[in-house]
Structure 1
């Protein structure tokens, strides 16, 4: 098992120089990207939902593409107006098309977390069957994806000059305690190949400490 993980990491690091560090410059049509690249390519064979590990074979009615860094906060930061108005803004369309920020989420979970900020919540926070915890407008994901969330948020903050959606201290802690696993490295490699750019915080998690 140890040798397998080392081999996976070695291959990932070997391939990373082929990808550019920077913004998504390949895609700028969120709906088309979601349909053709996210569901049509990355998850053409199904998979499991990000926050709950719910298995699925196709998008169906119970699954949707969720954005780890909420698009509502992107719209607010850009000041481009409503969702419909922002759809006419090229900068927003570029950010909303970034596959590094897109994960499969059950519609039920997405309704509860899509506008929330991330936080390490106290013991009194409500916990659902998947290990997600909520309190007011704050959301704490299960431990197994806390690092994934932190490294994606850091990528969006650093790449697109967006505000944090949770304190940088919490994100750094989550990244330390949940380093990249095989699933995250595989997803990162697939997205980087499709989109042409990498998330440098997955390639080098220690980079988050200096952000």
Structure 2
């Protein structure tokens, strides 16, 4: 017994790596965040749409705020009901206010993709549209230029808020590897971190995605 006890005591304590640097604790009112922080601060001087890289100087009616990790899947994971019912759920409001997950999207594209699962559709023969988007039934494949951005955002949402993957894990691993962070993604990440007060560690170190 003493030998067994000594064996356990003598084992070194190995600290597990910390994959997140905190949740969004600054904002919890999605409507106000979208109006004041997303359009009124982050994109106050314009920018480019997420999927098609179309430049814009102001929101306009052709653009809307889109969620990389779909809110429909957040509601399903939280089992809080419909979008109206979930508005009273504090956890949902916190997640829906996270700027790391919100991007400017063409309204037409957002309507068609908001409930879709991410997937590789190129192997199925589905042809891309003018933006490089492939869609089929409930599946959506983004342009190659933002696949890594999506993978690292989904990884952040999964790790930070204990949500399920919004598609097959293998898909995001491949996208993260094929599309590393570029200047645009890093610049946006830094701006969001300054506004919201927390970072996405998967943007700073993409290799962390492989450890989820």
TM-score by length of 1: 0.89
Indicate yes or no: 2:99 matched with 1:99. Answer: yes
Q: Deviations over 1:92-129 (max 9, x none)?
A: 00000000000000101001111101001124214211
Q: Which residue of 1 aligns with 2:114?
A: 114
Residues 103-182 of structure 1 mapped to structure 2, 5 A cutoff: 103-121=103-121, 122-182=123-183
Work out the CA distance in 1 between the residues paired with 2:46 and 2:129.
24
Q: Which moved more, 1:163-172 or 1:122-131?
A: 122-131
Residues 1-211 of structure 1 mapped to structure 2, 5 A cutoff: 21-121=21-121, 122-211=123-212
Q: Which residue of 1 aligns with 2:7?
A: none
Moved over 6 A (4+): none
Q: Which 5+ residue runs of structure 1 have no aligned equivalent? A: 1-19
Q: Which 5+ residue runs of structure 2 have no aligned equivalent? A: 1-19
3-state SS of paired residue (2:32): helix
3-state SS of paired residue (1:21): coil
TM-score by length of 2: 0.89
Work out the CA distance in 2 between the residues paired with 1:30 and 1:59.
17
Work out the CA distance in 1 between the residues paired with 2:86 and 2:124.
38
Aligned-pair CA distance for 1:54: 1.4
Q: Deviations over 1:132-166 (max 9, x none)?
A: 00111000000000000000000000100001011
CA-atom RMSD in angstroms: 0.9
3-state SS of paired residue (1:64): strand
Work out the CA distance in 2 between the residues paired with 1:187 and 1:52.
16
Aligned residues of 1:126 and 1:135 also touching (Cα < 8 A): no
Q: Deviations over 1:39-72 (max 9, x none)?
A: 0001001111000111111111110000000000
Work out the CA distance in 1 between the residues paired with 2:171 and 2:51.
18
3-state SS of paired residue (2:66): strand
Q: Which residue of 1 aligns with 2:9?
A: none
Q: Which moved more, 1:163-172 or 1:97-106?
A: 163-172
Work out the CA distance in 2 between the residues paired with 1:80 and 1:58.
34
